C-alpha cells in the first residue's frame, strides 16, 4: 500500500463559551452531523461524508481555543511504532485510554514545542456516511443541511519554535514540507504547510510568541460554488466573516475564513494542487505574504496575524 503511517487529520477538540449556542452553530449553520454527547458534556460532530464517528468535538469552557488536534494512523502497530519513534526523538508521550473520547480507541498524546497537544490513534468506530457501500448514491440529505463540508481538512496553529515542530513532523511522523513563508530577514520560516498525504496540507503552523494558539480548523468543500454557497449561508445567519471568498496564493486553495460564536476561526476551503512526497517545496518571501494569503487582493489582512484563540 502506498499510504502508510499517519493517514489523515482525525479529530479536533475545540473550546466554546456557550455550548448550546455552539451546537446550533455547528449543526445548523456549518451543517455538521451531531453524533453524540458524553458524560463530560462534550458534543461530537462529523462532516456528512466522513465515515468515522467524530471529527470535531466541542466542550464548554471560559476561554475559546483548541485542546488538541489528532491524526488517524494506519493500525495499532503503526501507533506503537510512532510512539516509540517520538520517545526516541526525546518527546514525552502519554496514552489516553480507549473510550475516553466516544467510539475512539487508545490515543498517544504529545506536546509540541509550539505548545499544541497532538494525538495519534488507530481506531475510531466506523458509522458510515449514510450512503450504502453497495451501489451508493453520490450524496444524501445531510449534504443539503447548512454549509455541509465533506470532511475536516486541516488546521493552522500558532505558537513558538515552528522550526522544531517542522523537524518532528518531517523526521518522526513522515510528513513533508509543501510551502513556507520566510521571515522578513529570510533566515527562517514565518509559516509552514505540511502534508502526510497527497493534499496541499494536513496541518500548518505559524510562528507566534504565545503557545498553543488556534488560527483555524478547516473544512473541505466540494467545489468553488459550494464555497460561495457557504458565504451566502454565513451572511444569511449573520456569521462574522474574516476574509473571502477568495483564493490563497499559498496552496492555491479557495477559501472563506469566518468565526464561530465563541471567536474560533474556521475555514471553508476547496482546491489546491496535488503534491507527492518528492514535491519541491514552494517558498514565499515575507514581502509576498499578502499574495500568499489573498492572491486576488494581494493583501496581508491584519486579522490573519493577530486574531487567534
Catalytic sites, residue numbers: 154, 201, 216, 248, 257, 267
Near ligand M3P by CB under 6 A: residue from 251, 262, 264, 268: 251
Residue 192 is a binding residue for ligand M3P (CB under 6 A): no
Residue 250 is a binding residue for ligand M3P (CB under 6 A): yes
Residue 12 is a binding residue for ligand M3P (CB under 6 A): no
Residue 243 is a binding residue for ligand M3P (CB under 6 A): no
Interface with ligand M3P in residues 100-159 (CB under 6 A):
156
Residue whose C-alpha is closest to residue 167's, from 157, 176, 158, 159: 176
Residues 264 and 251: beta-carbon distance below 8 Å: no
Residue 246 is a binding residue for Fe ion (CB under 5 A): no
Residue 267 is a binding residue for ligand M3P (CB under 6 A): yes
Query: Alpha-carbon torsion 74, 214, 255, 246, what sign?
Result: negative
Count of chain residues binding Fe ion (CB under 5 A): 2
Give the 3-state secondary structure of residue 262. Answer: coil
Residue 83 is a binding residue for ligand M3P (CB under 6 A): no
197 CB-side CA count, 13 A: 16
Residue 294 is a binding residue for Fe ion (CB under 5 A): no
Residue whose C-alpha is closest to residue 119's, from 11, 224, 203: 11
**For residue 293, cis peptide bond before it (omega within 30 degrees of 0):** no
Residue 83 is a binding residue for Fe ion (CB under 5 A): no
The region that residue 33 occupies, defined by phi over 0 for left and psi between -120 and 50 for alpha, beta otherwise, is beta
State the nearest-atom distance from the C-beta of 300 to ligand M3P, in Å: 7
Residue 26's binding partner among ligand M3P, Fe ion, none (Cβ under 5 to 8 angstroms by kind) is none
Residue 178 has φ and ψ, to the nearest 5°, of -105, -50
Residues 268 and 225: beta-carbon distance below 8 Å: no
Binding site for Fe ion (CB under 5 A): 218, 267
Binding site for ligand M3P (CB under 6 A): 156, 181, 218, 248, 250-251, 253, 267, 269, 289, 292-293, 304
Amino acid at each position: 500500500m502506498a499510504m502508510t503511517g499517519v493517514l489523515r487529520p482525525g479529530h479536533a477538540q475545540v473550546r466554546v463559551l456557550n455550548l448550546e449556542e455552539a451546537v446550533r452553530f455547528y449543526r445548523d449553520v456549518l451543517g455538521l452531523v451531531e453524533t453524540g454527547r458524553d458524560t463530560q458534556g462534550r458534543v461530537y460532530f462529523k462532516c456528512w461524508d466522513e465515515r468515522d464517528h467524530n471529527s470535531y468535538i466541542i466542550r464548554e469552557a471560559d476561554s475559546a481555543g483548541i485542546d488538541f488536534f489528532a491524526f488517524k494512523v494506519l493500525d495499532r502497530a503503526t501507533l506503537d511504532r510512532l510512539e516509540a519513534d517520538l520517545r526516541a526523538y526525546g518527546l514525552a508521550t502519554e496514552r489516553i485510554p480507549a473510550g475516553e473520547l466516544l467510539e475512539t480507541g487508545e490515543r498517544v498524546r504529545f506536546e509540541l514545542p509550539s505548545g499544541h497537544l497532538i494525538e495519534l490513534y488507530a481506531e475510531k468506530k466506523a458509522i458510515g456516511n449514510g450512503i450504502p457501500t453497495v451501489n451508493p448514491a453520490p450524496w444524501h440529505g445531510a449534504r443539503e443541511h447548512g454549509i455541509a463540508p465533506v470532511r475536516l481538512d486541516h488546521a493552522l496553529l500558532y505558537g513558538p519554535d515552528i522550526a522544531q515542530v517542522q523537524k518532528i513532523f518531517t523526521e518522526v511522523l513522515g510528513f513533508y514540507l509543501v510551502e513556507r513563508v520566510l521571515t522578513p530577514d529570510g533566515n527562517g520560516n514565518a509559516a509552514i504547510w505540511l502534508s502526510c498525504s497527497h493534499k496541499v496540507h494536513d496541518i500548518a503552523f505559524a510562528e507566534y510568541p504565545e503557545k498553543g494558539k488556534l488560527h483555524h480548523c478547516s473544512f473541505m468543500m466540494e467545489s468553488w460554488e459550494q464555497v460561495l454557497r457557504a458565504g451566502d449561508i454565513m451572511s444569511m445567519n449573520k456569521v462574522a466573516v474574516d476574509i473571502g471568498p477568495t483564493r490563497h496564493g499559498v496552496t492555491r486553495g479557495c477559501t472563506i475564513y469566518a468565526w464561530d460564536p465563541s471567536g474560533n476561526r474556521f475555514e471553508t476551503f476547496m482546491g489546491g494542487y496535488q503534491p507527492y512526497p518528492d514535491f519541491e517545496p514552494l517558498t514565499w518571501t515575507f514581502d509576498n505574504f499578502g499574495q500568499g494569503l489573498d492572491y486576488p487582493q494581494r493583501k496581508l489582512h491584519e486579522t490573519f496575524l493577530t486574531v487567534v484563540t
